[in-house]
Amino acid sequence: MIEVDGKYHVWTKRLGRGRIKLLTLHGGPGCTHEYFECFEDFLPEAGVEFYYYDQLSSVYSDQPDDKSLWSLPRFVEEVEQVRKGLGLDDFYLLGHSWGSMLAIDYALKYQQHLKGLVLCDMTAGIQAYLKYVNALVDELPADVRSTVRKYESEGKFDAPEYQDALMEHFYKVHICRLDPWPEPVQRCFNHFEDAKAQVVYNTMQGPNETQVTGNLKDWERWDDLPKIKVPTLTIGARYDEMNPAEMEKIAKLVARGRYGYCPNGSHFSMWDDQAVYFRHLITFLHDVDAGRFKA
């Protein structure tokens, strides 16, 4: 447990031992590290020492009742406190989904501590995300699309019919394509349904994946990407709710970027296109570590 903000504590765990050190930033906001558990099957044997870290408000960390805490700048400072608490420097930072938003903003302020950056399944601006994710909704079968749009227009995001339509026709196609979902993924989502986790998600994101009404709604970092100078890997997937072409665009806009594509993956491509995902990730880490990285 690492103290942050002088009074709260966040949960961390180290796995493996090696010269290459990687800190993970999970999605959400409000999710947990649990869906990263598949990393244990690949990274330690590749010589990578990696760290789980549950952000403040997640199930394994403190969950204070204070909405003023739920902002991107505060989470950036939390990551920096975790870095210091773990004694990390010249390390790799991996973000997934919301964690990539956090990783981008951390790199823009603290990249002097980074050896490399990995951005998975997240575009660099909310407007691009909304355009793409709603285009995916428009491709749903007509009856399903009608149900989704009906409840959205009424603001009834908790309606069982709405939740069922998204789960069966959107989440199982664009979030994770394995059936059933792997136990760590399902466990993460079960914890994500915790009321306190939902407060931070609703405050920052909004009611669900297709609506961004929280304080992240104006987040746009396309123009800032060239300021990121450290070697950067972006990973996109064919069926992701994020446009894979935008993952490739990010790799071209940062100073030293490389793009990895998962042709059978979705938002959780570390699970449903696992071999390809980890080949991209481990090759990148080894190339940077050996001084042979090429953008």
- Give the span between the Cα atoms of 123 and 231, in whole angstroms: 18
Residue of 267, 269, 272, 280 marked catalytic: 267
Q: Which of 15-24, 69-78, 148-157, 230-239 has the lowest mean pLDDT?
A: 148-157
Mean pLDDT of 121-150: 95
In this prediction, residue 157 carries a pLDDT of 87
Nearest to 42 by CA among 265, 279, 284: 279
- Give the span between the Cα atoms of 77 and 15, in whole angstroms: 24
Catalytic status, residue 240: yes
Catalytic status, residue 169: no
The gap from C-alpha 275 to its chain's centroid, in whole angstroms, comes to 19
Mean pLDDT of the chain: 96
- pLDDT surpasses 90 at 41: yes
pTM beyond cutoff 0.95: yes
What is the token pair recorded at 63? 């969950």
What digits encode the pLDDT tens for the residues 157-214?
A: 889 998 899 889 999 999 999 999 999 999 999 999 888 889 999 999 998 888 899 9
Three-point CA angle 68, 74, 77, nearest 5°: 155
Nearest to 188 by CA among 3, 30, 7, 81: 30
Reply yes or no on domain 2-125+216-289 having CATH 2.60.60.20: no
Nearest to 253 by CA among 220, 228, 287: 228
The sign of the CA dihedral 28, 172, 153, 132 is: positive
Q: Dump strand ranges (E) for 207-256.
A: 232-237
What digits encode the pLDDT tens for the residues 98-119?
A: 999 999 999 999 999 999 999 9
Residue of 54, 105, 121, 240 marked catalytic: 240
Catalytic status, residue 280: no
- Give the span between the Cα atoms of 228 and 110, in whole angstroms: 10
So where are the chain's domains? 2-125+216-289
